[in-house]
């Protein structure tokens, strides 16, 4: 009987430790995924209000014949999502820094095509 209780306690402790390791591995994987996501994004601060920057993004999408799939505008941030003709998703976030400046963040595709993102940013800056 004592041997059975000892085994039960030992098994419980090992199972508890195993769950902790799984959570640690999952947390590490999540952190690596976030770092990968942020690594594929380009950003730049511009001298334009949030409204003006969003208008420039919209004009850029039109000029480059990119499809806008979703637009969300709030007080301090706007997100414009779209897609390239090859189906890659485009994310453009515009963050208000002040009444006269904003930060534009762009990501193209799941792997973060920086050349395509740079091309979009350069076009946006022409409309500012």
Name the domain count of the chain.
2
**Phi, psi dihedral angles at 88 (to 5 degrees):** -70, 140
**Token pair 């091309």: residue:** 119
Host domain of residue 35? 1-39
Both tokens assigned to 80: 């414009």
Residues 99 and 121 in one domain: yes
Closest CA to 94 of 50, 59, 56: 50
* Rg for the chain, CA atoms, rounded: 23
Q: Identify the pLDDT of residue 4.
A: 67
Residues of the chain falling short of pLDDT 70: 1-39
Residues 69 and 104 in one domain: yes
Q: With beta carbons less than 8 A apart as the criterion, state whether 69 and 92 touch.
A: no
Q: Identify the pLDDT of residue 84.
A: 85
Q: Identify the pLDDT of residue 17.
A: 56
Residues 46 and 83 in one domain: yes
Q: Identify the pLDDT of residue 128.
A: 92
Residues 7 and 54 in one domain: no
């Amino acid at each position: 009987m004592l041997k059975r209780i000892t085994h039960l306690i030992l098994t419980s402790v090992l199972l508890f430790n195993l769950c902790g390791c799984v959570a640690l591995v999952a947390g590490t994987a999540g952190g690596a995924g976030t770092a990968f996501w942020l690594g594929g994004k380009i950003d730049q601060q511009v001298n334009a209000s949030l409204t003006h920057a969003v208008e420039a993004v919209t004009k850029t999408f039109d000029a480059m014949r990119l499809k806008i799939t979703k637009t969300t505008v709030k007080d301090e941030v706007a997100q414009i999502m779209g897609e390239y003709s090859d189906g890659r998703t485009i994310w453009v976030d515009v963050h208000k820094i002040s009444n006269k400046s904003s930060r534009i963040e762009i990501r193209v595709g799941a792997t973060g095509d920086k050349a395509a993102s740079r091309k979009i940013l350069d076009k946006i800056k022409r409309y500012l």
